[in-house]
Amino acid sequence: MLLKQFSNDKTIKNTFVLHDKHLIEGVLIPTTERMTACVSSQVGCSLTCKFCATGYMERKRNLNADEIYDQVVLIDKQAKEHYGIPLSNIVYMGMGEPLLNYNNVLKSIDRITAEDGLNMSYKRITVSTAGIAKMIKKLGDDDVKFNLALSLHAANDVKRNEIMPINEQNSLAALAEALKYYFAKTKNPVTYEYIIFNNFNDEIEDAKELARFCKHVPCKVNIIEYNPIAFADFTNAAVDKTEIFANYLKKQGIITNIRRSRGKDIDAACGQLAVKEENK
């Protein structure tokens, strides 16, 4: 491990050095109910989402299954050392697009859930994708037992194309079809992650579009506070608008949580991970 940074809210961001000197980040997020590790699946990312610091890095390579698993083991050790409790949850929401490193991600989950590994339940593991329709279908074909989250952030193709270029080849209609296929095979509900940006996707009209998208498969919505990064102009939506947005979804019967940002003082929050190669 190269560097450990502690946030005021007890989040710990770790920078790991790989055998070929590339750097990746993994984060320990303690809350009252959970001890969560957020791990990386690639060095950098090829998907250029406009709001994400990793998206401004070049993708260098995939992590192998051991490199992913080792992050989890080290963060689990850290959780026990600093807070006296082991990890309860693992999210694949760090650097990289997990479904573009499919085999290694699934192998790492096999190790995490193995009796001679960490013996954790699949239900405690969430893989988050920017939305690659054919790989979501593959998860269905493989009848995976872990949770799937889709980083949606807009339920309108024009807006989604603007912030997530991957949407140009994976439209909302294609994603909806893939999610229906996935749900038919696995019976796992899906989580939609929705970063709420000021003056971009925070109006009731946006909430209505999101509510319509939620009709495709059983799901819940996490509305996530945005953490501004130096490379992009986005800012976080106002607190009252976020509440109005969430309440609209709740009134439509959609399970909706607002996720406050964690570790933002050390750039460990969602969308802020971006180790710089010159740090080596």
Tell me, residue by residue from 91 to 130, as one string, x for binding to ligand SF4 by CB under 6 A and - for no binding: ----xxx--------------------------------x
Does the annotation mark 97 as catalytic?
no
Provide, rounded to whole angstroms, the least separation between the CB of residue 271 and ligand SF4.
6
Distance CA(227)–CA(234), nearest Å, equals 9
Amino acid at 102: Y
Provide, rounded to whole angstroms, the least separation between the CB of residue 48 and ligand SF4.
6
Does the annotation mark 177 as catalytic?
no
Contact status: 30 vs ligand SF4 (CB under 6 A): no
Provide, rounded to whole angstroms, the least separation between the CB of residue 94 and ligand SF4.
8
Provide, rounded to whole angstroms, the least separation between the CB of residue 96 and ligand SF4.
6
Would you put residue 153 in left (φ > 0), alpha (ψ -120 to 50) or beta? left
Ranges within 48-87 binding ligand SF4 (CB under 6 A): 48-49, 52, 54-55
Ranges within 180-239 binding ligand SF4 (CB under 6 A): none
Q: Which residues are catalytic?
A: 25, 270
Binding residues vs ligand SF4 (CB under 6 A): 45, 47-49, 52, 54-55, 95-97, 130, 151
